[in-house]
A and B are shown apart, each in its own frame.
Chain A
Amino acid sequence: MATTLAKAADATASATHAARIEHVSKSYPGPAGQQLVLDDITLDVAPGEFVTLLGASGCGKSTLLNLVAGLDRPSAGEITTDGRPALMFQEHALFPWLTAGKNIELALKLSGVPKPERRGKAEELLELVRLKGAYRKRVHELSGGMRQRVALARALAQESKLLLMDEPFAALDAITRDVLHDELTRIWRETEVSVLFVTHNVREAVRLAQRVVLLSSRPGRVAREWTVDIPHPRRIEDTAVAELSVEITEELREEIRRHGQH
């Protein structure tokens, strides 16, 4: 397992894309025949890039993330990723029968890390998300923010080139979310992992990303893209963040209004 993964990584070491989504469509059988959820999406994520997918309900952003994660197959088009991506959910999805440390060790084990190395690596990853003493903590003993940090550490344990995040901070309170934004930015810059981050929160998208991709709804199409070159560290209350957020929000509202017109 470890060797095949390493080989795959070698083979694609010169890969110019962490993920390449080419003309991907997805439809589900609905009451009125096939319902198109995603329509001809083309999107690349460069190695080390941070991209946010932004859209209102029904834009199929979570569907797209599931496709990239390999949990579902596209109806048309092709998705290639550099190795198996890691996925983080809105719910922490930590296993309650394991301690925080053992959750991370399970991810290491399933990625083929030999047993003697797992404990040390798990401790390192916990330290990375600043939860040094939490190895023996049970999931229910951790706060919401701590759980998401352990979930992040578990996702990073897979050593994937690409980290997929499905509204991971949506269920947290505003203060914790703001702190985790800083934390994620720091970890992204330290680990040089590529991130594809799904959200419906415009400020969150602008605060975190290098590139914001707006999806239209029903079916989901790429509506517009913005490159965000505001230097880090960014703050949610920065004027530059606010200005771009206003611009994107206008565009998003325009997208939403179109659905009320017919």
Chain B
Amino acid sequence: MASTDSTTVAKDGNDLAGLEAGLDALETRQTGRPPFRQTFVEKILPPVVAIVLVLAVWQGLVSFKVVDDPTKLPAPSDVWNVVQTAWLQGELLGYIWTSVSRGLLGFCFALVIGTPLGLLVARVKVVRAALGPILSGLQSLPSVAWVPPAVIWLGLNNSMMYAVILLGAVPSIANGLVSGVDQVPPLFLRAGRTLGATGLKGTWHIVLPAALPGYVAGLKQGWAFSWRSLMAAEIIASFPDLGVGLGQLLENGRNASDMAMVFEAILLILIVGIAIDLLIFSPLERWVLRNRGLLVKS
């Protein structure tokens, strides 16, 4: 009895292994990156075409004298010349670096403050009742509004810039984490609890990683708010001793009625904002989502 039983089990077991391998093979989808050509046609080409079109319309407006006043609308080539001159004089990178270093440092401060704050609001009921509405409210307050009080409190210096960045970015980062935590599926919490992840262990091993997509979205928005706040601060509180950032460049252009310089500053602000997002935050977000299979391939 025992011997026949064990042989049937063994035979059955072998069949089962083969069956299971077959099922696994049938049901597993092959995932890989799409070929470069496809990425190029679907992702890279459309924005390039859009930019070329905008430039063409701009050049057209100037060439066909629709707007015939260089102090209102300079030609793209004029703007390009200003950028080139600034580059050749070695000032261009200086402008960019002044603003970017301020922006990133301010963002890091905002990260250090916003993360624990968001976690407290998300996990402690009293704190949420007290600070939750204020944080959401602050998020809709344009951070330009903080520039005048910051100048009065802190004077015309870098601390004032950082204060404005913090007030702009901290609510975004904290709120991102709060919504990330709120969206953690209850199933993960139950599964975590049965595995023994309760209290701080649960927060560290389950809640925080599960909330990461919302948190990263908050970081992305936090950066956008940091950059905007900083530009507002630089434009309003431009002061030569602070060093010339992109905001000051814009303000200087306005004072000199140099429309090409104004356009140069606006373009640089736009490009730097996009570049930081494309170089840091978008890859971070895509990495997080791809790891979880949340990146929908279209």
Q: Is the CB of A182 within 8 A of B194?
A: no
Task: Map CB proximity to B onto A138-155 as digits: 1 under 8 Å, 0 otherwise.
Answer: 111111111000000010
* B126 on the A face (CB < 8 A): no
Q: Is the CB of A233 within 8 A of B20?
A: no
Closest A-chain residue to B1, C-beta based?
Answer: A231
Give the distance to chain A from B270, nearest Cβ to Cβ, in Å: 34
Chain A stretch 105-150: residues in CB contact (< 8 A) with chain B: 106-107, 110-111, 130-131, 138-146
* A69 on the B face (CB < 8 A): yes
CB-CB under 8 A from A144, the residues of chain B are 27
Residue among A71, A84, A96, A233 making CB contact with B12, cutoff 8 Å: A233
CA distance A98 to B205 in the complex (A): 10
* B195 on the A face (CB < 8 A): yes
CA distance A147 to B147 in the complex (A): 53
Give the distance to chain B from A144, nearest Cβ to Cβ, in Å: 7
CB-CB under 8 A from A107, the residues of chain B are 195
* B17 on the A face (CB < 8 A): yes
* B142 on the A face (CB < 8 A): no
Give the distance to chain A from B215, nearest Cβ to Cβ, in Å: 12
* B129 on the A face (CB < 8 A): no
Given contacts A93-B191, A106-B205, contact A141 B23 (CB under 8 A): no
CB-CB under 8 A from A145, the residues of chain B are 20, 23-24, 27
* A86 on the B face (CB < 8 A): yes
Q: Is the CB of B201 within 8 A of A97?
A: no
Interface centre among B19, B188, B196, B210 (most CB of A within 10 A): B196
Q: Is the CB of A179 within 8 A of B23?
A: yes
Q: Is the CB of A91 within 8 A of B195?
A: no
Closest A-chain residue to B16, C-beta based?
Answer: A182
Q: Is the CB of B23 within 8 A of A176?
A: yes
CA distance A131 to B25 in the complex (A): 12
Size category, A interface: 35 or more
CA distance A18 to B285 in the complex (A): 46
Given contacts A93-B188, A97-B210, A186-B16, contact A110 B197 (CB under 8 A): yes
Q: Is the CB of A110 within 8 A of B20?
A: no
Interface centre among A84, A87, A110, A138 (most CB of B within 10 A): A110
* A95 on the B face (CB < 8 A): yes
* A217 on the B face (CB < 8 A): no
* A22 on the B face (CB < 8 A): no
Q: Is the CB of A95 within 8 A of B188?
A: yes
Number of interface residues of B (CB under 8 A): 35
Task: Map CB proximity to A onto B1-40 as digits: 1 under 8 Å, 0 otherwise.
Answer: 0000100110011001101110110011101000000000
Residue among A70, A71, A87, A143 making CB contact with B24, cutoff 8 Å: A143
* B45 on the A face (CB < 8 A): no
* A158 on the B face (CB < 8 A): yes
* B236 on the A face (CB < 8 A): no
CA distance A138 to B9 in the complex (A): 32
Q: Is the CB of B201 within 8 A of A110?
A: yes
Interface centre among B190, B193, B194 (most CB of A within 10 A): B194
* A183 on the B face (CB < 8 A): yes
Closest A-chain residue to B187, C-beta based?
Answer: A93
Give the distance to chain A from B207, nearest Cβ to Cβ, in Å: 11
Q: Is the CB of B187 within 8 A of A179?
A: no
* A188 on the B face (CB < 8 A): no
Task: Map CB proximity to A onto B195-239 as digits: 1 under 8 Å, 0 otherwise.
Answer: 111000100011001101000000000000000000000000000
CA distance A191 to B201 in the complex (A): 28
Q: Is the CB of B205 within 8 A of A143?
A: no
CB-CB under 8 A from A131, the residues of chain B are 24
* B291 on the A face (CB < 8 A): yes
CA distance A254 to B17 in the complex (A): 40
Q: Is the CB of B28 within 8 A of A142?
A: yes
Q: Is the CB of A140 within 8 A of B27?
A: no
Q: Is the CB of A110 within 8 A of B187?
A: no
Given contacts A145-B24, A145-B27, A175-B23, contact A97 B209 (CB under 8 A): yes
Q: Is the CB of A97 within 8 A of B16?
A: no
CA distance A95 to B204 in the complex (A): 13
Task: Map CB proximity to B onto A152-182 as digits: 1 under 8 Å, 0 otherwise.
Answer: 0010001000000000000000011001001
Q: Is the CB of A233 within 8 A of B27?
A: no
Given contacts A93-B188, A95-B210, A140-B292, contact A183 B195 (CB under 8 A): no
Task: Map CB proximity to B onto A167-208 as digits: 1 under 8 Å, 0 otherwise.
Answer: 000000001100100110010000000000000000000000
Q: List 25 A-B contacts (CB under 8 A).
A: A71-B193, A84-B196, A86-B194, A93-B187, A93-B188, A93-B191, A95-B206, A96-B292, A98-B209, A107-B195, A111-B195, A130-B17, A138-B291, A138-B292, A140-B293, A141-B31, A142-B28, A143-B24, A144-B27, A145-B27, A146-B24, A175-B23, A176-B23, A186-B16, A233-B9
- Give me 4 other A-B pairs in contact (C-beta within 8 A), A84-B194, A179-B23, A231-B5 excluded: A87-B190, A175-B23, A182-B12, A186-B16
Q: Give A residues with C-beta under 8 Å from B.
A: 69-71, 84-87, 89, 91, 93, 95-98, 106-107, 110-111, 130-131, 138-146, 154, 158, 175-176, 179, 182-183, 186, 231-233
A-B CB proximity, top 7 nearest: A140-B293, A143-B27, A93-B191, A96-B292, A110-B196, A87-B194, A97-B209
